Amino acid sequence: MQRVFPTLILFAFTFAARAAADAFQKWEPEIQKFEAADRAQMPPKGAILFVGSSSIRFWTNLVESFPKKKVIQRGFGGSTMADALHFADRIILPYEPKEVLVYEGDNDLAGGKPPQTVAAEYRQLVEKIHAKLPKTKVWFISVKPSPSRWKLEAKTRALNAEIEWWSKAQQRAGYIDVWTPMLGPDGNPRPDIFREDKLHMNAEGYEIWRKIIGKKI
């Protein structure tokens, strides 16, 4: 039994490592598309980088929304905070951005990950960015209040609150609240600023983001 137990532990760790690798592997086609675009024309240094899940990917007029800024859009729909952390070496650090705006956490909570874990991964991401780019400002765009995920309200508020609290103590990290202005007078998500799936925003929803984010960057 003494020999079998360490073997089982090793097997469990190996299985977990392979499962994690497979989870990241599904994003390779999209990440490689970004890298191909970079080889064709590398974005300028010192730009403002937006990275995150579908809320970034589906922002079709993101670059045009900030005409006086140099903007890079690197959203891959369905991604999580762990994905952003894993691919930071390939879709964040090479650009040497002046500012990084991160929208992750939405899919994490929907997948059952605790708010504290997501917040810890975000801190790791900020630390990873600052290890190479100490002057870069990193912004967390709060998780939005989607009608289809309103059952996660408590967890979403907990995640947003923890990251906001942590960001206030950092010199090069900030928090952008999009949660509050996306709520109606009744305290519920405004249905008119979402698509039919009640998860992704329509043009009016993105206009709210543009105004709020524009005051920060």
What is the number of domains present in the chain? 1
Range of the domain at 99: 28-214
- Establish if 122 belongs to a structural domain: yes
Cα 199 → chain centroid: 16
Report pLDDT for 173: 98
CATH number of the domain where residue 54 is located: 3.40.50.1110
Q: For residue 46, what are its two tokens?
A: 């010192």
- Establish if 190 belongs to a structural domain: yes
Report pLDDT for 11: 52
- Establish if 80 belongs to a structural domain: yes
- Establish if 18 belongs to a structural domain: no
Rounded to two decimals, the pTM is 0.90
Report pLDDT for 1: 53
What are the contacts of 152-159 at 24+ separation with CB within 8 A? 152/109, 152/110, 155/109, 155/114, 155/115, 156/105, 156/109, 156/115, 158/115, 159/105, 159/109, 159/115, 159/118, 159/119
Report pLDDT for 13: 45
Residues composing the chain: 217
- Establish if 8 belongs to a structural domain: no
CB-based contact 60:66 (threshold 8 Å)? no
2-18 burial, b if ≥16 CB within 10 A, otherwise e?
A: eeeeeeeeeeeeeeeee
**Distance in angstroms (rounded) separating the CA atoms of residues 194 and 200:** 6
CB-based contact 11:33 (threshold 8 Å)? no
Handedness of CA 88, 140, 144, 46 (dihedral sign): negative
Q: Give 100-158 as a DSSP string.
A: EEEE-SHHHHHTT--HHHHHHHHHHHHHHHHHH-TT-EEEEEPPP--GGGGGGHHHHHH
- Establish if 4 belongs to a structural domain: no
Helices (H) and strands (E) in the chain — how many of each? 10, 5
Return the closest-CA partner of residue 119 out of 145, 91, 85, 81. Answer: 81
Per-residue pLDDT of the chain (217 residues; tens, 9 = 90+): 555 555 555 554 444 445 556 789 999 999 999 999 999 999 999 999 999 999 999 999 999 999 999 999 999 989 999 999 999 999 999 999 999 999 999 999 999 999 999 999 999 999 999 999 999 999 999 999 999 999 999 999 999 999 999 999 999 999 999 999 999 999 999 999 999 999 999 999 999 999 999 999 9
Report pLDDT for 22: 76
- Establish if 9 belongs to a structural domain: no
- Establish if 152 belongs to a structural domain: yes
Report pLDDT for 77: 87
Return the closest-CA partner of residue 125 out of 135, 139, 145, 111. Answer: 139
Report pLDDT for 7: 56
